């Protein structure tokens, strides 16, 4: 465990807005958490748990206490003829895990290639992209409970996964230390996303072909956060009933939506934002990406508050035009 004071978080989150941690603690192994718990009673009430910072927007100049998971490993736990259980440390880069699984011919998370997340955040946010979600492979989630002062293990059923949500979001006392995912040895390509379906309609793609295609799609649409600060999709796709959709289609026949359940659908937040005229809009160094309207960007010197002000203007605009309330996907602090 390493403890430092007055640490800049500019390079520890993907928006790269300036913010400082008055105390910054790095957790290198699970035993560190027992020591931390004894030094700082009720620490979960004061601390921000930080992974790759790809799900956060810091609007404050200072945060009192930030704890970063630096537990990094990938290992095979169990396997049988059909399936494999892989375990990864919470501080492991998510895409390092995806790359490992693809290289070892294990199916299940290839559609989640390129997401700038840590493995500890994957179950928290139920990360998803291109027709896939973490919930589909979740097996066990390990964490330390700062309330009970014990390690805990959660199954997928325990966490009530839904669209960009899990029960862990209501459990701030849990510090995620490692995850287990269940993958397949036999090919199970998920080609539900339109671009994948079109590209591979006449062939059965390999894992590497799917991963490379996903990375290509992301690179064409999503700015590299190391060059232009962003957190990927800033807003969730709003969910509405089929009846509500039919009303919207009368006024907006070209509205873009996705099936969600038998009685509900997801409306494209990117379509709403672009239709409202925000794509490529810029206010100082805060802006909306010209390549993807769902992505808010920091062109260099924008503060977190600058990004939030722009986000609120977009929310108001979409509400006024469509009577739909956009909800941020990122955590705003």
80 burial level (CB within 10 Å; 0-12, 13-18, 19+):
exposed
Residue 262 token pair:
């038998």
Name the catalytic one among 110, 164, 180, 289.
164
Cα distance between residue 80 and residue 82, in whole Å: 6
Indicate the SS3 state at residue 185. Answer: coil
Catalytic status, residue 233: yes
Catalytic status, residue 329: yes
Name the catalytic one among 26, 110, 136, 329.
329
Using CA atoms, how far residue 99 sits from 48, 96, 108, 199, 318, in Å, is 28, 5, 12, 21, 38
Instruction: Quickly tell me which residue has 């930080």 as its tokens.
Output: 50
Using CA atoms, how far residue 172 sits from 45, 57, 180, 320, in Å, is 8, 18, 20, 34
Reported as type and span, the H/E element at residue 117 is: none
Beta bridge partners of 153: 142
Phi, psi of 272 (to 5 degrees): -60, -45
Residue 70 token pair:
């630096």
20 burial level (CB within 10 Å; 0-12, 13-18, 19+):
middle
Catalytic status, residue 164: yes
Cα distance between residue 261 and residue 242, in whole Å: 10
Name the catalytic one among 113, 156, 233, 293.
233
With beta carbons less than 8 A apart as the criterion, state whether 289 and 281 touch: no
Active site residues: 164, 233, 329
């Amino acid at each position: 465990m390493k403890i430092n004071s007055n640490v800049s978080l500019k390079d520890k989150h993907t928006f790269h807005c300036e913010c400082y941690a008055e105390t910054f603690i790095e957790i290198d192994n699970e035993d560190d958490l027992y020591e931390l718990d004894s030094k700082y009673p009720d620490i979960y009430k004061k601390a921000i748990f930080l992974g790759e910072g790809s799900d956060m927007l810091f609007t404050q100049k200072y945060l009192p206490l930030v704890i970063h998971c630096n537990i990094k490993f990938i290992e095979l736990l169990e396997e049988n003829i059909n399936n494999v259980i892989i375990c990864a440390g919470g501080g492991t880069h998510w895409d390092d895990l995806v790359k490992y699984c693809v290289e070892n011919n294990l199916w299940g998370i290839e559609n989640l290639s390129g997401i700038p997340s840590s493995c500890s955040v994957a179950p928290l946010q139920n990360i998803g992209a291109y027709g896939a979600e973490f919930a589909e492979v979740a097996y066990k989630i390990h964490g330390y409970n700062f309330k009970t002062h014990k390690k805990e293990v959660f199954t997928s059923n325990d966490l009530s996964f839904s669209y960009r949500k899990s029960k862990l979001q209501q459990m701030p006392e849990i510090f995620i230390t490692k995850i287990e995912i269940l993958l397949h040895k036999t090919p199970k390509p998920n080609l539900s996303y339109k671009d994948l379906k079109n590209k591979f309609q006449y062939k059965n793609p390999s894992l590497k072909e799917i991963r490379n295609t996903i990375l290509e799609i992301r690179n064409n649409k999503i700015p590299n956060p190391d060059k232009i600060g962003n957190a990927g999709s800033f807003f969730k796709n709003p969910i509405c009933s089929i009846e509500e959709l039919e009303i919207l289609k009368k006024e907006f026949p070209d509205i873009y939506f996705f099936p969600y359940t038998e009685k509900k659908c997801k409306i494209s937040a990117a379509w709403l934002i672009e239709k409202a005229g925000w794509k490529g809009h810029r206010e100082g160094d805060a802006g909306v990406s010209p390549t993807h309207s769902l992505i808010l960007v920091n062109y260099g010197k924008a503060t977190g508050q600058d990004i939030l002000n722009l986000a609120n203007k977009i929310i108001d605009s979409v509400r006024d035009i469509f009577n739909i309330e956009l909800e941020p996907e990122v955590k705003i602090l």
